[in-house]
Amino acid sequence: MSSIESGQSNISENLLCIGCGYNLRGLNEAMNCPECGKPVSQSPQSNLLHYCDPGWLEKIRLGVSVKLWSFLIFFVQSLVLGSLIPVFSLPSSIGRVFSIAFGAINLWSTFLITTQEPSISLGETSVTLRKTVRICAIIGFFGAYVGSGVQGGVFSSISYLIAGATGLAEIAAACGELIYFRRFATRIPDEKLAKSTKYLLWTATICVACSSVIGMVLAIISGGQAQPSGIATQPAAPPTPGATLMAAGCYAPFVLFVLFPWYVFLLLKYCKAFKAAAEQARTLTRDDTPGLSDV
């Protein structure tokens, strides 16, 4: 990490300018960058969001807003369709279309949130959290889309594999996004928001782990039951996802009334934080650009 030596006014280590990437080592804190004119004193604080590119911050804010509204709309339409489809005998494909549309919008919001930060001082390795979240989100979306069309018959085992891989990818993407958000919270900086995000991450992870363990136990129990004598010579059928769904259903009220509102509240907080950071970044950009502050 680059730093300014305590008690001295000159930069003692390699430090790249927040504006152009010029090495500021040896320059005085009170000076401006010789390449772009940015104040040297801002570069040690470049990790804070309000010193970042305002266009990048707006793109992330848009991603958070899209994710927030897509979740709320999907929640409402799930309740409405869940009531209308059985009452009016509507085709189940209607719900599938809405689910695919929600998945596409959610995937888009994930890509917006994980937009690469346009800073020369931040190098990206081949494997990063940003890339991992994107890959898992893509697998989750296309896995759900393909899995819905591979059901029954000789493809039953394939559908189980697809469902399992899709579920793991979706969980990994969701957890990765929360870790991503927590890193943003430390750059706002908002320690309270960072802690709340961490607690949500751990709470959701524990719920998923408990649901998986209970589902596995139920699947083993149901799979080990004796079959009728007429089909005793047939191989046992593979455990269906019903056991896992039953286990997940135990946590449905907690997810519906605790985790979902908690997540929505955090998205609202992050949306406001990114908006404020973008406005501050624009103000700093105008103040640091010669001639613009007088316009």
Q: What is the pTM of this model?
A: 0.73
Rounded average pLDDT over 148-152:
50
- Buried b / exposed e over 52-70, threshold 16 CB at 10 Å, is bbbebbbbbbbbbbbbbeb
SS3 108: helix
The pLDDT tens digits for 224-283 are: 444 444 444 444 444 444 444 455 556 677 777 888 899 999 999 999 999 999 999 888
Count CB-CB contacts under 10 A for residue 234: 9
- Provide the residue ranges of all domains of the chain, joining segments of one domain with +: 1-46, 62-189
Percent of the chain with pLDDT over 90: 29
Rounded average pLDDT over 194-214:
87
pLDDT score of 45:
63
Is the pLDDT at 202 greater than 90, yes or no? Answer: yes
SS3 152: coil
The pLDDT tens digits for 1-45 are: 444 444 446 777 777 776 676 788 888 878 888 887 777 877 766
Q: In this predicted model, which residue has the larger pLDDT, 88 or 264?
A: 264
